[in-house]
Amino acid sequence: MDQYQVLGNPIKQSKSPQIHAQFASNTAQDVEYSAQLVPESDFEQVVEDFFASGGKGLNITVPFKQRAFSLAQHPSAAANLAQAANTLWLNESGEVCADNTDGVGMVRDITVNLGAELSAKRILILGAGGAVRGVLEPLLAQKPAQVVIANRTLSKAQALAEAVASLGPVQACSFEHLQGPFDWIINGTSASLSGDLPPLPEGLLQASTQTYDMMYGAQATVFSQWAMAHGVAKASDGLGMLVEQAAESFTIWRGVRPTTAGVLSWLRQQL
Ligand code: ATR
C-alpha cells in the first residue's frame, strides 16, 4: 500500500491523518497516511529515510516548512515565494519536488466552497509572517484590484510587498494608516491564537465586506467576532482552508481530486 505521512513537532493535534483517510476512502485509493513526531535535529534524515524506504508523499507542518523547502530540488512557484513547503513527493528521477498548497487551499475555500469572488476586489491582508507569505501567490493569481498587506512591524509588510510586486498590485501599510473600506479582510496574523486582535482602525468595513480568518476554532475567532460586531456580510474561518490544502496535496500525489464538503462538515462537528 502506498505510504504517506505528515511530519511535525508537535504532531498530536494534526487532523491530516483523519482528513486523508476520508479522501482515500471517498476516491477508492489504496493508501496509508500516518503522523510522525520528528525531533528538531532529525528532519532532513527522516525525509530521506521515508523516501528511501519507498514512501510516496509527505505533508510538512510546523516547524519544518522552511526546511522542507530548502531540501527540495524542484519547488513550485508558490513554494518559492513562500520559501516554505507543506507537500513533498519524488519525480520520476527520484528528485524531491515541493509545493505549498496553503494558498491554493484558501483560494479554493473562498471561491468554490464559499462561492465568492476575489478577482477585481480590494483585499486587506493582516500579517506578514509565514502564513501570509504562503498565500500571496495564489491570491494574486485571482487578479484582485488591490492587495494591501498590513502588519504590526511595517518593515516586514514592505519586504513582502516588494517580493511579490511583479505579481500584482500590492502595497504595504501600517495598521493605523489603513484606509478602507475593503471588499475582503483576511487575517493571517497569529494574534487569534492568543485571543488578541490587531489594532484595526474604524472604516475598514462596509455592509458587503467579507472576512476570512486563516485560524479556526470551536468558537468564532476574536477576529471573526470583531467582524460580525461590525456587521460584515459574512465571517469565515480557516477550517475549509485546512481541508482544501489537504485536498490539493492529495490531488498532486494521486492525480485524483477528492470531494471535500463531507469532510469539512464532519471536521466542523469534531471541533
Ligand atoms: P505564522 O507562520 O503563523 O505567520 P509568524 O511568521 O511568526 O507566524 O508571523 C506571525 C504574524 O502575526 C506576524 O505578522 C506578526 O506581526 P509582527 O511581524 O509584527 O510580529 C503577527 N502578530 C502576532 N501577534 C500579533 C498581535 N498580537 N497583534 C498584531 N499582529 C500580531
Q: Nearest residue CA, atom 31 of ligand 1?
A: 191
194 Cα nearest atom in ligand 1:
27
Q: Cα–Cα distances in Å, from 120 out to 166, 227, 262?
A: 17, 22, 31
As given in the structure block, the three cell numbers for residue 198 are 490587531
Ligand 1 pocket test, pick from 64, 83, 148, 189 with the greatest ligand atom count within 8 Å of Cβ, gives 189
Cell 510586486 locates to 165
Whether the pTM exceeds 0.85: the reply is yes
C-alpha cell of residue 119? 478577482
Residue 174 is predicted with a pLDDT of 98
Domain assignment of residue 46, given as a range = 2-100+240-270
Question: Are 229 and 129 within one domain?
Answer: yes
Q: What's the confidence (pLDDT) of residue 106?
A: 98
Residue pointed to by grid coordinates 491523518:
17
The protein residue whose alpha carbon is closest to atom 9 in ligand 1 is 129
128 and 195 in a single domain? The answer is yes
Q: What is the pLDDT of residue 193?
A: 82
Catalytic option among 12, 15, 56, 65: 65
How does 40-78 read in b/e, with b if 16+ C-beta sit within 10 Å? eeebeebbeebbeeebbbbbbbeebbebbbebbeebbeb
The model's pLDDT over 179-213, given as tens digits with 9 standing for 90+, comes to 999 999 999 999 988 889 999 999 999 999 999 99
Check which CATH number belongs to the domain holding 64 and give it.
Answer: 3.40.50.10860
**Tens digits of per-residue pLDDT, 171-181?**
999 999 999 99
Pick out the chain residues at pLDDT < 70: none
Residue 97 pLDDT: 98
Residue of the nearest CA to atom 6 in ligand 1? 129
Instruction: Please tell me whether residues 206 and 155 are part of one structural domain.
Output: yes
Residues 106/241, Cβ–Cβ less than 8 Å: yes
Residues 84 and 174 in one domain: no
| Same domain? 167 vs 73 | no
**pLDDT given at position 192:** 82
Q: Output the pLDDT for position 54.
A: 98
Residue 163, C-alpha cell as written in the block: 517580493
Ligand 1 center to residue 171 CA distance, Å?
A: 18
Does residue 96 sit in the same domain as residue 176? Answer: no
Residue 107 shares a structural domain with residue 219 = yes
Give the closest residue to 183 by CA, choosing from 221, 129, 142, 234. 234
Same domain, 108 and 183: yes
| 11, 35 Cβ separation under 8 angstroms | yes
- The residues lining ligand 1, judged by C-beta closer than 6 Å to any ligand atom, are 127-131, 151-153, 156, 189-191, 196, 198
Domain total of the chain: 2
Annotation marks residue 234 as catalytic = no
